[in-house]
Amino acid sequence: MTDAAEWDAIFSGDPAVDVPQFPANPHLLELAATLPAGRALDLGCGPGTLSVELALRGWEVRGVDASPKAIEAATRHAAARGVEAAFEVGDVAYWIPLGLYDLVTSSHALPPPAHEARRAVAVAAAPVKPEGWLAITEWAPAAAETLGFAPSDLLSRTDIVAELPGFEIIRSEEISAPRPDGDGEAPALIVVAQRHPR
């Protein structure tokens, strides 16, 4: 398990040199490109790569991450790209939103163990507007051993969908994603859901 302090260590250092910039999640960017820009919430935003790309495309973005260093990096990243985005430190399993969002994203940021990850899915779902969108990518349980997770730390697509009453599941698929160490790809999953109109 990687906690906020460990992520802080990862995101510390000279931002010009060694703050890791995971590429903006292409699956989530692709979905956003099909939607009219509105309010977006990026949970577990890390150094803000996806948040900033969304802001550059006209979204009003809020990013939340448990790591203060990640939030500092995200804030610097937005400034460097000349966009406005709001970033705050928060635990995505317990965060309480103010307001509703057209799009909520979680890119490889559901915190272990599984009961916290389930909470984070419910937290992500709560502020989605009627007819708004929720999009989650995460490592699949099949990736646990190779990426150093306990198998029970990673939710299946069924686990995620179970936390989404009131949503239509638009997409639920196994995908692969670049490993954090750059050594090829690992099994991942994507769930895209749209909240029913009220």
Residue span binding ligand SAM (CB under 6 A) among the ranges 104-112, 147-155, 169-177, 183-191: 104-112
Sign of the dihedral through C-alpha 72, 77, 78, 80: positive
SS3 assignment, position 137: strand
Compute φ and ψ for 172, nearest 5 degrees: -145, 105
Residue nearest to ligand SAM (CB): 46
| Cβ proximity to ligand SAM, 26 vs 130, nearer residue | 26
Is residue 100 within 8 Å of 129, Cβ to Cβ? yes
Residue span binding ligand SAM (CB under 6 A) among the ranges 53-61, 107-115, 158-166, 185-193: 107-115
Looking up tokens 């939710």 gives 155
Q: Under the criterion CB under 6 A, does residue 107 sit at the interface with ligand SAM?
A: yes
Residue span binding ligand SAM (CB under 6 A) among the ranges 30-38, 89-97, 126-134, 159-167: 89-97
Q: At 114, which amino acid appears?
A: A
Q: Shortest gap between Cβ of 73 and ligand SAM (angstroms)?
A: 9
Is residue 103 within 8 Å of 35, Cβ to Cβ? yes
- List residues binding ligand SAM (CB under 6 A): 4, 7, 22, 25, 44-46, 49-50, 65-67, 70, 91-93, 107-109, 111
